[in-house]
Chain A
Amino acid sequence: MIDLSVLTDNWSSYLEGFRNTIIASLLALIGSFILGVIVAVFRIAPSKVLNTLGAVYVEFFRNIPLLLVVYLFFLGLPALGLTLNGFISGTLGLMIYTSSYIAEAIRAGIRSVPSGQTEAARSSGLTYNQTMRYVVLPQAIKIVIPPISNQFLNLVKNSSILGVVAGLDLMYFGDIVNADTYDAVSSYVFVALFYLLLTFPLSFASRSLERRLAHSG
């Protein structure tokens, strides 16, 4: 049923795809985290204009499909004269899309710190920045880590979107292997195993982290 020669004959394709999936995920992970923090800061900053900008960003990208975000780069930009390849447009789309979820997770975490603490810190003479740094953020981080690690897991799975725009990732090469071998079951089962190699440790780590943080109070 599953033909091992599909894997051995196409070993280099699978490996190249696996490597590109890891690179795209890492780039998008770093980028979406930085972007997510910036947008979260916008959303909680004491300025109505920044709040609104942040909210529009989050609501827009959370409510449209990832594929559409990728298409904005892959099909939309060329229409404006700037052509990006599948790998870059896929990674950029992934980064922007995920950043909206991360921003929301960070904002929810900060919100969950009782506002009495902020007021107490402010009235005892700390500045806004000091209050954030010494009182709010250390508590918020514990709440924020589980949803963020969950988003990273989603990001790795979602990186398969590169396959739709010829982004040379695992999904893309799996499809090529299928087209070459006419053995869809074997081709895709091996793709699945490569993904599980990445996602199982991630989801295991995220759960044990969640449990540990939940018990540390």
Chain B
Amino acid sequence: MDFQSAYTPDHLSFLFQGFGLTLWLAFLAIIFSFLLGCVLGIVRYAKVPVVSPILTIFVETVRNLPLLLLILFARFGLPELGISFTPFWAAIVALTVFEAALISEIVRSGLNSVDKGLLEAGRSSGLTYVQTLKHIVLPIGLRRMVPPMVSQFISLLKDTSLVVIISIAELMHNANIVMGQDPDIVFPILILVAALYFAINYTLSVLARRLEVRV
């Protein structure tokens, strides 16, 4: 184990560059999967004929597949079907679809946990269905969704490491390159990478717990 030749300025800046891309990847995927997950969750909650059952089948299938498989499919399968992305966007698409399926479950069960009586009260006091959802059910449900949602975002951040399989210059990929240079620095690099992931995820989970207490 050689910490001195592991933590050279060159290696460190290369790893931090990778960490930057990991965060950027996670940030974009969080935004997109949150939006898609909300839409999927609300439509499934609202039980729209034909549309909701189809989305349910879609969500159930995606939820029951490994993310790794979706990443490979987005990278190598979709181009065969005439849909081409750069590797970076293939990763975003796979992460978004996978996490959105899980987020839609959080949204759906959050909405379901809102007392049905409130929905009926809103409707019978003259609000439309959409108004009832927007002003009564969503604000109450959203608050309950915050803690599981943050946990899901932590999962997503960890899951970005899987895109190493399609070679995008994120943290895990850059770590692999550095580690390949010298067996003596493998352990120190793994420790540093763990520290980086841990720092950001632990901060998020502490934040989530605070929110949980307040909500």
Residues of A within 8 A of B (CB): 1, 59-60, 62-68, 71-72, 75-76, 78-80, 153, 157-161, 163-164, 171, 174-175, 178, 183-185, 188-189, 191-192, 195-196, 199-200, 203
Contacts and interface: CB of A to CB of B under 8 A. Distances in A.
Nearest 9 pairs of A and B residues by beta carbon: A160-B66, A184-B76, A199-B64, A63-B201, A65-B161, A79-B186, A65-B158, A160-B68, A184-B77
A175 B72 contact: yes
Contacts of A196: 61, 64-65
A137 B165 CA distance: 42
Contacts of B46: none
B194 A64 contact: yes
12 contacts: A64-B158, A68-B193, A68-B197, A75-B179, A79-B1, A80-B1, A157-B66, A171-B68, A178-B76, A184-B73, A192-B73, A199-B64
B24 interface: no
B198 A157 contact: no
Nearest to B195: A64
Of the listed residues B66, B81, B154, B160, the one surrounded by the most CB atoms of chain A closer than 10 A to its CB is B66
A59 B205 CA distance: 9
Interface string B137-151: 000000000000000
A188 B69 contact: yes
Interface residues of B, number: 39
A192 B187 contact: no
Contacts of B49: none
Contacts, number: 117
B105 to A, nearest CB: 11
A71 B190 contact: yes
B80 A184 contact: yes
B67 A157 contact: yes
B117 interface: no
A68 B66 contact: no
Interface in B156-187: 158-162, 164-165, 172, 179, 183-184, 186-187
B11 interface: no
Contacts of A160: 66-69
Contact of A67 (B65, B72, B162, B184): B162
Nearest to B172: A67
Contacts of A76: 186-187, 190
A65 B193 CA distance: 10
A157 B64 contact: yes
A64 B198 contact: yes
